[in-house]
Each structure stands twice: as C-alpha cells, then as structure tokens.
Structure 1
Amino acid sequence: MSALQTRLQVLPQPRLWGLWVLSLSLIVLALGFYAINSARFTTDEFTLDQDLSRHHDGIFNVVALSIGTIFSPAGGVLIIAAVSLFLLIVRKSPVNAVAFGAVAASGWLSSQFFKAVIARPRPDPALLFNPLAPETGSNSFPSGHVALAVGLAWAFWFLARKTRWARITAILGICIPLVIAWSRLYIGVHYPSDVVASLLAASAAVVLFAAVWNQYQRRVLPRVPLLGRFGPLAPTVSEDRSANQ
C-alpha cells in the first residue's frame, strides 16, 4: 500500500521544463499587455460577451451561476482542503495530500500573479444585455475560476496516471475547465483572452511547482513530524527500486 501512498513523491516533469515555464509565461504576459493596450482588441472580444448576454436561458443561467459559486475562492479552498484531508486521513497518504493540495493551489494562485501584473479591467456590466452577476475591478486577466479548474485537473491527473482512471480523468480534466471558461464568458465577467490565458498560466505554474517539488520534497517533508503520523513519507527501498526500473 505504501507505494500508492507515496505515488506523488515524484511528479511528472517535462524535459526542458524551464523553457516550458518561460515560454508559457511570456505568452500570457504578451497577450495580457496586448489586451490592455489595444482598445479594438478588447472591443472585438466584448462582442462575444454581449452576444452571449442576449441569449441567456434559465437553465444555462443556473448552471453558469452554480459553477461560479463552486469554483469561487471559497469553493476552491473547500475543494482542495476536502481532497487533501481525504488523502491524508482516510487514505493515510501525507505525501499525496501535500502534493495534491500544492499542485492545485499553484495552478490557481498563478492567476493572482498575472492579475497583479496586467491589471485589466473587467467587462463593463452596464454594456451587457442581461448582466447575471456584475463584477468590476482590475482583476479580469486571467480568470481565477479557470485557473483553479486547471490546477485541480493537473492534481487529479497526477493521482490517476498509470491507473484505470487515467483516461476518464484526462477527459474530465480537459472538459471541465472548458465548461468553466464558457460559464465565465456566459455570465459576462471575463473576456475570451482571460480564460485562454488561465489555461496557459496555470499549466506553467504546475510545471514550475513540479520541478521544485521533485527537487526539495524529500528534504522538506521529513522535517514536518506531524505528517509522519498519518502515513509513510517515502516508499521502502524495494518499492523505490521497483518504481525506477
């Protein structure tokens, strides 16, 4: 069982991971700065929000608003905490619990960094035909809701990879962020480039975190004695050798 309890001790890490992080981050920054400096680009993007606002439907309204609540900051904290506690207490997997929570949080919090740098105003709800949940402020780019979904998608896939659940997890990990992206445009609180940037920013953050985790977690986790009371912090020597063969 301990091999499963420590399966996230080493996270998947692409070759040239630093180049991936740098490239994705530069794309996000370039898109963000272009968006805030091109009035025409913003106007063209806003036409999609306006068109969706003209075609609001009762059922879709409920779905979009419910998604907004579930993947809100409070909802994100609850989701990450619930899964992490389940892994820690029920599955007795402190390594998996910490890794899952940190992966999901890194993807989610990436949006806050780029929001601070870009500071793009949200779409003007007064210009929408039917504003469902008017939001204002300079925190439109990128979408925190979508970044949270992407962070969770990566975290769940890391848990499910090389198991029978890997395929369905990957499919859901693609579909759910796209549905959430649609819901943010449907409500009218983000521009299309906001949600696209979230996919890239959150993925860059997860790749960066995976590299840091793989480098330092073996040194850091054993220094937290409380974690060891819930389960193993490392596989046995034989399990470690098997995993590397």
Structure 2
Amino acid sequence: MTTSVVPGASSAAASNPFLAPAAHPRRLVLTAVATVLVLVAVGFLLRLVPLDVGLSRVVHRSHLGALGAIAEGFYRAVKPVSAAGIMVVATAVVGFATRRWQAALAFVGTIALTWGSAEAIKLVVERPRPGLSEQVVNAVGTTADPSFPSGHVAFVAAFAAALICVSWATRWRALAIGVGVVLVAAMMLSVVYIGVHYVGDAVASVIWVAGIFPAVRALLAFVVARAQEVVDARRR
C-alpha cells in the first residue's frame, strides 16, 4: 500500500504513511464515491436475486471437523466491544512506536470511519441474514442486524489495511501483509461457514475497504495536519 506525497510535504509526514498527504485526493474521493454507489446497487441486486446463496450453502454445510468451533470463536472475538478494545490497544502501540499522537489518531480514526461506514450501509441495503440456525442465533443473537456487507470482515480488513499502512516503510511490511491477508481470509471464511453471512456480504466488505480506506486515510491526514497547525500557532 503505497502513499504518494505531495511536493513540499514535511519529512516527518513523509516518513509516516498515515500522515502523508495524498498526491491525488480527488481521485481517491471519486473512487470512494464509486465504491459506495456500486456496492449499494449490488446489495439491492442481491436482495432481489440472491446469486450467492448456493455457494454460501456449500461452505456452510461443509462441516470440516472442528472448523465450526474455531470459526465461531474467531467471529465472537471480533464483536463490536472487543473490536473497540483491539483498536485501543493497537492505537497505544502505534503511538508508542512512532512517538507521535498524530499517527495514532490517524490510525484509529481511519479504521473507525472505514468500519463504521460499512456498518451504516447495512441500514441502507437491509439485506436479511441467512436463515437463523441454532449456531447463528448463538453467534449473533435472535435479533440480527442486516447482512450486507459484513461488519466483521470490514473491521478485520480495515485493521489489516491500517497495519500494512503503518508498517509500509519498515522491515515489518512483509509480515504485516502476510498476517493481514490471513486474518481477512479467515474472517471471510468464518462468517460464511457459521452461516451468519452470505459470500457476497464478505466479498463486498473487502471491496468496501479497498475503495474507502485510502480516501479516509487522506482525509484524516489532512484533519490531523490542520489540527497540528492550530496547536503550533497557539504555542507561538
């Protein structure tokens, strides 16, 4: 995940992908808007013509040993409250490692906005969850929120993207990419395997993050930079 830096950017910002201004912000915004419009349209289409039901049933009914228990455990581990806790801990680590509150703020803000916007789109599309089997009821409760896109997958994908971004210029980049890909793939499989989401929900979440994350990162970099200017001005 590369980050273009505009001419004149400070060396401090240029050295931290979360603080570097985007060279083409308009392109990022257009990509984000297109992502929203296309995925909302796809979500409504899948409500009317559930093309992914067949594949979702194949995955859900595969019953590969203890995979069900592992998948449900992974799903439960990323419930909203625990996900918030993960973000708090990761933000503290980023702040300590970079020694810059700006980087930590941009890190957590980008994850939160990318994930939260995916959750908001659920309320627009309102695709029903798969049939609530006993396992699904145990995982999501009897009153489940809409299905498209998957909030769990969106969170993990946004978190993985943030880790890759913050480690891009370090020796940990390859490890971050590998761990991120494994976590996202595991959550995509988990939500379909235990029957809380369709395949289309999981795939849409990854596309959502890919389209939205860069624009949100650029927006947060801009906001944090302006906040830093205000702080510096008051110190003079």
Shorter-chain TM range is: 0.7 to 0.9
CA distance in 2, matches of 1:138, 1:19: 29
Distance change (3 Å), C-alpha of 1:89 and 1:169: closer
Aligned to 1:191: 198
Question: Which residue of 135, 138, 145 maps to 1:133?
Answer: 138
Matches within 5 A, 1:17-36: 17-36=28-47
Aligned length: 219
Equivalent residue letter for 1:30: A
Q: Give unpaired runs (5+ residues) of structure 2.
A: 1-10
| TM-aligned CA deviation for residue 46 of structure 1 | 2.5
| TM-aligned CA deviation for residue 183 of structure 1 | 0.2
Aligned to 1:217: 224
Aligned to 1:231: none
CA RMSD, Structure 1 to Structure 2 (Å): 2.8
Q: Give unpaired runs (5+ residues) of structure 1.
A: 229-245
Distance change (3 Å), C-alpha of 1:131 and 1:213: closer
Equivalent residue letter for 1:10: A
* SS of alignment partner, residue 142 of structure 1: coil
Aligned to 1:174: 181
Of residues 6-15 and 80-89 in structure 1, the stretch that sits farther from structure 2 once superposed is 6-15
Equivalent residue letter for 1:36: R
- 2:167 matched to 1:156? no
CA distance in 1, matches of 2:211, 2:107: 16
CA contact (8 A) 2:118 2:208 kept: yes
Aligned to 1:208: 215
Scaled by the length of structure 1, what TM-score is found? 0.78
CA contact (8 A) 2:156 2:184 kept: yes
CA distance in 1, matches of 2:145, 2:77: 22
| TM-aligned CA deviation for residue 217 of structure 1 | 1.7
CA distance in 2, matches of 1:27, 1:21: 10
CA distance in 1, matches of 2:114, 2:191: 18
CA contact (8 A) 1:115 1:142 kept: yes
Of residues 147-156 and 15-24 in structure 1, the stretch that sits farther from structure 2 once superposed is 15-24
Matches within 5 A, 1:31-110: 31-38=42-49, 42=50, 44-89=51-96, 92-110=99-117
